Amino acid sequence: MTARSTTGPAIRVLGLHKSYGKLEVLRGVDFEVQRGSIFALLGSNGAGKTTIVRILATLLKADAGTAGVNGFDVATEAARVRESISLTGQFAAVDEILSGRENLVLVARLRHLDDPGGIADDLLKRFSLREAAARRVSTYSGGMRRRLDIAMSLIGNPPVIFLDEPTTGLDPEARIEVWDVVRSLAGRGTTVLLTTQYLQEAEQLADRIAILHQGRIIADGTLAELKQLLPPAEVEYVEKQPSLEDVFFAVVGGSAEGGGSRESESNEK
């Protein structure tokens, strides 16, 4: 894999514009993502999040502005950018006929890597999928499929990964599983650009958050910095009530290890 530099931002976007006919989707977007961090691009449906990801992944050309990934320009050095990234879309791109291990081995072989089996086994262990390694992916729960999908995207150790709405359609338990995976990516030095419409997801995961609204970044900062945009809160003393999330995990007995409880549910369906 080609890496131009280990210094400077992993992603730099300046004055990005994109229109589809008369519909102006991006109206001058600017932001930077530091290496080894989790950056959340937060916005409602239609805000332009996926358009930004597609431009950064060299799948779409901007009308104006510049963007760089891992030190490479997305317009003039597209091949170098593609060597530096991996993209996980809104729906898990896994082969349901194959087993989890077979999916991983297939991708490793397509990338002409040495020891595809060893790579697959390492990722199965890392993503808590060893017990389900030989099972067809069609039997996996939503959280397991998403974990496998992210594992497949990491084959080849890309320094930058784009996660476009990674928890869309997942239940609360599966969402927590994916959050743990995303945290582990940054912990190993991978730069993560995460798009989401879930406020809690951005709050839980991101080192820095940019709010995209009507094609522009209207706020960009850490969670603490963004909270300072609001007037000081009035202090009131109230009895703390458990959240729905607290109730859910108390009832189900906590997050499943390795997808165990989810496997049973999947087999019953």
The 10s digit of each residue's pLDDT in 67-111 is: 999 999 999 999 999 999 999 877 668 899 999 999 999 999 998
Q: Where are the domains of the chain?
A: 11-268
Q: Residue range 258-265: average pLDDT?
A: 43
Q: How far apart are CA 106 and CA 117, in angstroms?
A: 9
Q: What is the pLDDT of residue 139?
A: 95
Fold of 11-268: Rossmann fold (3.40.50)
**In which band, very low, low, confident or very high, does the pLDDT at 259 lie, cut at 50, 70 and 90?**
very low
Yes or no: say if 209 and 223 are a contact pair by the CB < 8 Å rule. yes
- Rounded Cα distance between 44 and 54, Å, is 17
Interhelix angle 100-110/116-126, rounded to 10 degrees, is: 130
The pLDDT-based confidence of 2 (bands split at 50, 70, 90) is low
Q: 126 phi and psi, to 5 degrees?
A: -60, -35
pLDDT in tens, 136-146: 999 998 888 88
